[in-house]
Amino acid sequence: MRSAFFGLHVTTSALNVARANLHTIAHNIANAETQGFSRQVALQQAHQPLRGSAGRGMVGTGAHITSVIQVRNQFLDQKFWSQHSVSGQYQTKFDIMTLVQGIMREGEGGAGISSSIDDMFARLRYLTTNAQDLTFRRNFMASIESLATTLNSTYSQLRQQKADLNQEISVTVGVVNSLGRQISALNRQITVLELDGSNANDLRDQRAVLIDELSRYVNIDVREIETNADFAAGRTTDPRKSQRQLVILIDGVQFVNHFDLNQIEVRQRTTSDGTGIARNPEEQGAMYDIWWSSGMPFRMYSPTLRGELAGLIHLRDGNGGNFANFGTAVPVPAPAPSPANPFPLGFVAATATTPATVTMEFNANSRVDLGPTGIISVLNANGSGRDLRYTDYILHFDEDPTSATFGMPTHATFVLYEGDNPANTDFAPVGTTVTDISVGRTTSYMGIPYFMARLNELTRTLAAAFNEGRYLDGNQIPGVTGHFNGYDLNGNLGGMFLSHSTPNDPWTNWNGVGVFNYFNITASNFRINPELLANPDRLAIANGPATGESNADLAHSWVLISTDRGMFREGRVGDFVSAMTGDLGITGRQAENFAMSYSELMMVIDNQRRAISGVSLDEEVAMMIQHQLVFQAAARLFTTIDNIYDTMINRMGNW
């Protein structure tokens, strides 16, 4: 049976609903400029109706607010997070490649690599007609010294940039972990506040802002999972029974599991005694690897990794796919050594006095310059594999002068790090086949190591050409005679012309025994023989000891170095430098274009999000007027009903 004051009850519900809507609108207006705030809406629903008189029909009982929700499109959120990570990756690449272009750009006044090489060959041509003039000899060697200084400086700046990137990776990992901790803490607060079935909208907005920021650094997959099976299946609709938990994956690996956090951490790539392990020969010092706190290695070179972290890794470690590759036939154990074959191919287990070693043969066209330490990656056909660190190695050269590969490394013996338990590694496990063995495999992106390696190739090729008249692969350059086979003004046979300096040995002057290792030369230590700089008469550019001081046959032959199309894969020396700077320009422009494109796309998606979730003051004012009218109408109705009751009770009297 309905109460005598039923009408007041219904009218009161109308007042409460209008007031709740006005409060929600006030909250929206107050947060119109709050970062990440999502417009909120009060959901209202009619009360359970009552049966009419004599059980006929239904009588409405008013309305009530069921919940206050945030207006948000999860699909657009996922799209934004996906694009944000790609935008962050390419923006990082563009910013760093702009710096690299500044380092390698041709300077004013002929200070660049290309102009230094042009100047060197121009002065060489002057020398061919003035071989007896010490001034022209000095000028030619000064131009080489200037080239060496330019290369030394450029290489050192690139190496410093690489070290800076290493530190930035550490900082970025710290930022990612900080965001993860904040998200996990908000998850706890949200869970507590939603136990009664309500929505912690403002906390969810704060969490969404953190997730937006996280997506800038890494690619994420965000899922809110209902863990109550009955609620998920629809067997109960009581919101208090809902148990939603947030899960965030980074590149497919769980990072946040609601309250729990699987952090990432940086570890220096070293052995137990602190020896740095290099993934690229261009590395100096111990770089950082990334690991999950659970003990799993973070897949730094995953092709699906995105975000600023991926950009930093690609720039720091990207070698353009230029790595050492070895034949997969590695006997275990290796045959016994013999005088004819002191380093047979295969694995040799450690003994009480000697470490484990493995000797492998270089594949054709493999990179043969290796870092003093590094990582051997063994990949099997079944997808399994292992990384083995090495702490030293020996290159074995082809010393047969009649061989096409004379002077080139043919295989290498690596001293393996015992901490990796190499004795427990089968290079050809039973039932599987080794498909790849490599050293220095990182990412194919043309990062800083790629350009450092190109500079090294330039210096080594020039050194081999001027010293011996040979290509870097050991073959003779047609028409070119090296400084070793020339004679100076005093009739003495020439020696080392271009080589390298080391911290402990300011000048490395080959003694003529064995095969000189040009791969010890880098753009950092490349230099001309200082004895020749001090004594230009000792520059050996004559083809015999008694042909006259005007003889400059070797200088004439050296001019061919600038025009020979077999010097590099790209062709001539100038072609090589142009290709290198072209690679730099293309890589930088690609990063710029992608950064702009994905940034614009991200802005479009964000504008779509704002159109749905953002607060429009015009719309809020319109809604405010609407609910104000509802409130006024309900108040007027309340007054009317109150007057009716007043008349009936107080003024009609007894009948």
- Burial class (CB within 10 angstroms; exposed 0-12, middle 13-18, buried 19+) of 80: buried
pLDDT level of residue 1 (50, 70, 90 thresholds): very low
- CA distances, 119 to each of 126, 143, 463, 497, 604 (Å): 11, 7, 17, 18, 51
pLDDT tens, position by position, 425-473 = 666 544 457 788 899 888 899 999 999 999 999 999 999 999 999 998 8
What is the per-residue pLDDT for 653? 60
Q: Find out whether 478 and 564 touch, Cβ atoms under 8 Å.
A: yes
Q: Which residues, in sequence order, are CB contacts of 508 under 8 Å at separation 6+?
A: 496, 499, 500, 501, 502, 520
pLDDT tens, position by position, 529-563 = 999 999 999 999 998 886 555 688 999 999 999 99
Q: How far apart are CA 405 and CA 517, in angstroms?
A: 14
pLDDT level of residue 369 (50, 70, 90 thresholds): confident
Residue 437 host element (H or E): strand 434-439
Q: Any idea which of 85-94, 293-302, 424-433, 512-521 has the lowest mean pLDDT? A: 424-433
Q: Find out whether 280 and 371 touch, Cβ atoms under 8 Å.
A: yes
Percent of the chain topping pLDDT 70: 94
What is the per-residue pLDDT for 638? 85
Q: Which residues of 575-606 are buried (b: 16+ CB within 10 A; e: fewer)?
A: ebbeebbeebeebbeebbebbeebbeebeebb
Above 90 in pLDDT, residue 155? yes
Tokens of 576: 């090589």
Is the peptide bond between 506 and the residue preceding it cis, with omega within 30 degrees of 0?
Answer: no
Closest CA to 85 of 314, 312, 310, 290: 310
Q: Any idea which of 20-24, 510-514, 534-538, 614-618 has the lowest mean pLDDT? A: 510-514
> Is the full-model pTM beyond 0.85?
yes
Q: How far apart are CA 408 and CA 396, in angstroms?
A: 8
Domain borders along the chain are 6-71+620-651, 324-441
pLDDT level of residue 228 (50, 70, 90 thresholds): confident
DSSP-assigned letter for residue 343: S
One-letter amino acid at 140 equals: F
Tokens of 424: 């427990």
Above 90 in pLDDT, residue 138? yes
Query: Could you give the maximum distance between any two Cα atoms of the chain, in Å?
Result: 151
- CA distances, 266 to each of 160, 177, 390 (Å): 19, 11, 21
Above 70 in pLDDT, residue 106? no
What is the per-residue pLDDT for 227? 78
Q: How far apart are CA 394 and CA 414, in angstroms?
A: 7
What is the per-residue pLDDT for 329? 80
Q: How far apart are CA 144 and CA 124, in angstroms?
A: 10
Above 50 in pLDDT, residue 110? no
What is the per-residue pLDDT for 243? 82
DSSP helix/strand/coil, 21 = helix
Above 90 in pLDDT, residue 273? no
pLDDT level of residue 331 (50, 70, 90 thresholds): confident
pLDDT level of residue 512 (50, 70, 90 thresholds): low
Mean pLDDT of the chain: 88
Q: How far apart are CA 620 and CA 176, in angstroms?
A: 37
Q: How far apart are CA 655 and CA 649, in angstroms?
A: 12
212 versus 511: the higher-pLDDT residue is 212
59-63 mean pLDDT: 87
Q: How far apart are CA 268 and CA 278, in angstroms?
A: 10
DSSP helix/strand/coil, 273 = coil
pLDDT level of residue 648 (50, 70, 90 thresholds): confident
287-308 mean pLDDT: 93
What is the per-residue pLDDT for 430? 46
Residue with structure tokens 């952090």?
A: 263
Tokens of 74: 């999860």
Q: Find out whether 197 and 242 touch, Cβ atoms under 8 Å.
A: yes
DSSP-assigned letter for residue 213: H
Q: Find out whether 168 and 266 touch, Cβ atoms under 8 Å.
A: no
What is the per-residue pLDDT for 334? 85
pLDDT tens, position by position, 335-363 = 888 887 888 888 888 888 889 999 999 98
- CA distances, 128 to each of 186, 440, 532, 535, 597 (Å): 77, 43, 17, 18, 54
- CA distances, 597 to each of 99, 127, 504, 594 (Å): 21, 53, 50, 5
